[in-house]
Amino acid sequence: MVKASKGIRCRTRGILRKKPREKGMPPVTHYLQKFEIGEKAAIILDPSSPEGMPHPRFHGLTGTVVGIQGRCYLVQVREGNKLKQVICAPQHLKRTSE
C-alpha cells in the first residue's frame, strides 16, 4: 500500500465544497469587508479563494479580531485550552452578533 498524503487540504471534501447555487467567485464586498479590533468574527472558509485561507481545522470557530497584518486579520481563537492567533483574509470571515 502507498502511504496516504497529508497535505493542507486532506480530509476536507465536505468543508471545501460549495453548494451548486453558490458556485463561482464571491461578491467583491466579501473582499472589502472591514473589521474593527475587538470585534467578534466567525471563520467560514471560502474554497473559491485560496489566498489568505487559514487551516481547515479552524473552520466554524468564532474568535476576536486582535490585529491587522497586511490585508489579513489576526483572529484569536480558542482551540481546546489554548488561545491561538489565526491569520485570515476578510473573505473567510463573517461578522457575528455576540
DSSP summary character for residue 71: T
Q: What are phi and psi of 31, to 5 degrees?
A: -75, -25
- Per domain, the residue ranges of the chain are 38-95
Position 71 pLDDT exceeds 90:
yes
Q: Out of 3.30.2270.10, 3.40.630.30, 3.40.50.300, 2.30.30.70, which CATH number does the structure's domain 38-95 have?
A: 2.30.30.70
Query: Span 71-82, mean pLDDT?
Result: 96
Secondary element (H or E) of residue 30: helix 28-31
- pLDDT value for 97: 77
Contacts of 5 (CB under 8 A, 6+ apart): none
Euclidean distance between CA atoms 91 and 97, whole angstroms: 18
pTM of the entire predicted model: 0.90
C-alpha dihedral, 64 to 68 to 72 to 74, nearest 10°: -30
Rg (CA), the chain: 14
